[in-house]
Amino acid sequence: MTSVALDNLSVIYSPGSQVLGSVTLRVEPGELMVLLGPSGSGKTTMLRALAGLLQPSEGDIRFDDRSVLDVPPEQRGAVMVFQEHALFPFMNVAANVAFGLKMRRMDSAVIRSRVAEALAAVQLAGYEARWPGELSGGQRQRVALARALVIQPRVLLLDEPLSSLEPSLREELRGTIRTLQQQAGITMIFVTHDQTDAVAVADRICLLMQGRVRQTGTPRSFFERPVDSEVARFFGGINFLPGIKRGGIVETSLGPLEVVATDRPDGDVLVTIRPEAVEVGRNGHNNLVGSVESYSFQGLVARCGAGISDTQLQLTVPPYQRFRRGERIVLHLPRERIHLLPLEP
Ligand SMILES: Nc1ncnc2c1ncn2[C@@H]1O[C@H](COP(=O)(O)OP(=O)(O)OP(=O)(O)O)[C@@H](O)[C@H]1O
Ligand SMILES: [Mg+2]
């Protein structure tokens, strides 16, 4: 299994416009790292640099601690599945999937069985003789995935591999990718702008914004310990209140809140608590009385806005729990769920 390291990697397409700035990241052997970020943040650019399709302007890329900057793409052992999942239009599905194995001059019986296995893994058994033009977007995407998996590369780079699939197939294929990656021990970098896909599939997530790494860590760490409010917002955080911390208490517009003593110094802070961490009902400390200002049913949960003096807190409740606007509501903010962020200017 192969480790991948980026060291202070910068990419400039044209003078004055830096698309990636000093990216440093290490992907452990056999790890599934999700590269997450909004559109235009530089995700595809980073994959292209890893695959050897573009030369960085600064920094180094190492596979197993050896620089690969001078290694041509076809010898790096990194295979990239493109966002636009280009298949060879003049080859049928079987030939598309077999392509990489033929290039490696493998025995044709072995090729046939590996191709059948890969197509079965992406649920396209029986599609061998179809032409790319006869497939849906999602099916083409799965053929492209099979074509990469079949090679069993050292490093697999997937650029938005699930983008044109409907939710149920998306979830299933997410699981398939994860299983195949673990079975084959492939080090994988999986690009997406979808937070749900990222959380479901990743060992760790690297969040890229405007060409810079903002936070790297387990999916859970982005919910429990986001580094700043922008990262917290990207992961669905919506309650932010300025406050002044003195020891285990923060003064806010909701009144004094007990917090767990953190390593953040006393003084100005930004208090945040996730909507799903706010509890309904009185319980120990940090109880607040307010009135329901909004309620919306969202299927798996319901979202509720509660006004407390001049401040609104958003919370999620189980969907069967109904609230009427104007109804009195008592909330509990568990102190261990309150996270303190730097107060940004
Ligand atoms: N060949 C190129 N020449 C000049 N600028 C480019 C080139 N390719 C990409 N860019 C610019 O670099 C930035 C990052 O592009 P990139 O394709 O890496 O983003 P991305 O994170 O993959 O976005 P998306 O989620 O939309 O695919 C964008 O502002 C884009 O316009
Ligand atoms: Mg892209």
- Of the given ranges (27-41, 161-175, 305-319), which has the lowest mean pLDDT? 161-175
Does residue 39 register a pLDDT over 80?
A: yes
Instruction: Kindly report, as residue ranges, where domains of CATH 3.40.50.300 are found in the chain.
Output: 4-229
255-295 pLDDT, tens digit per residue, is 999 999 777 899 999 999 999 999 999 999 999 999 999 99
Does residue 83 register a pLDDT over 90?
A: no
Q: What is the pLDDT of residue 141?
A: 85
Residue 120 has φ and ψ, to the nearest 5°, of -65, -40
The mean per-residue pLDDT over the stretch 319-336 comes to 96
From 36, 43, 53, the mutation candidate for ligand 1 (largest count of ligand atoms within 8 A of CB) is 43
Could you tell me which residue, 152 or 328, shows the higher pLDDT? 328
pLDDT range class, residue 85, cuts 50, 70, 90:
low
Task: Report the separation in Å between the CA atom of 43 and the middle of ligand 2, taken as the mean of its atom positions.
Answer: 6
**How many helical (H) and strand (E) elements, i.e. helices and strands, does the chain have?**
9, 20
Closest residue to atom 9 of ligand 1, CA basis: 45
Cβ–ligand 1 distance for 13 under 6 Å, the answer yes
Cβ–ligand 1 distance for 45 under 6 Å, the answer yes
Q: Which residues surround ligand 2, an ion (CB under 5 A)?
A: 44
* 50 vs 5: CA distance, rounded Å: 9
Q: What is the pLDDT of residue 137?
A: 80
Largest CA distance in the chain: 74
Task: Report the separation in Å between the CA atom of 159 and the middle of ligand 2, taken as the mean of its atom positions.
Answer: 7
206-222 pLDDT, tens digit per residue, is 999 999 999 999 999 99
Task: Report the separation in Å between the CA atom of 40 and the middle of ligand 2, taken as the mean of its atom positions.
Answer: 7
Closest residue to atom 1 of ligand 1, CA basis: 13
The mean per-residue pLDDT over the stretch 121-132 comes to 92
233-248 pLDDT, tens digit per residue, is 999 999 999 999 999 9
Q: What percent of the chain has pLDDT over 70?
A: 99
Tokens found for residue 210:
């405007």
Q: What is the pLDDT of residue 24?
A: 97
Cβ–ligand 1 distance for 48 under 6 Å, the answer no
Q: What is the pLDDT of residue 291?
A: 97
Q: What is the pLDDT of residue 288?
A: 96
Atom of ligand 1 nearest to the CA of 45: 18
Q: Which fold has domain 237-341?
A: OB fold (Dihydrolipoamide Acetyltransferase, E2P) (2.40.50)
Q: Quote the CATH superfamily of domain 4-229.
A: P-loop containing nucleotide triphosphate hydrolases (3.40.50.300)
Q: What is the pLDDT of residue 278?
A: 97
95-104 pLDDT, tens digit per residue, is 999 998 998 8
Closest residue to atom 28 of ligand 1, CA basis: 40
Cβ–ligand 1 distance for 174 under 6 Å, the answer no
The mean per-residue pLDDT over the stretch 319-324 comes to 95
Residue spans of beta strands (DSSP E) within the chain: 4-14, 17-27, 32-36, 58-63, 66-67, 78-81, 155-159, 187-192, 204-209, 212-217, 240-246, 249-252, 255-258, 267-272, 279-280, 287-297, 302-308, 311-317, 328-332, 339-341
Atom of ligand 1 nearest to the CA of 208: 21
Instruction: Kindly report, as residue ranges, where domains of CATH 2.40.50.140 are found in the chain.
Output: 237-341
pLDDT range class, residue 174, cuts 50, 70, 90:
confident
Closest residue to atom 8 of ligand 1, CA basis: 45
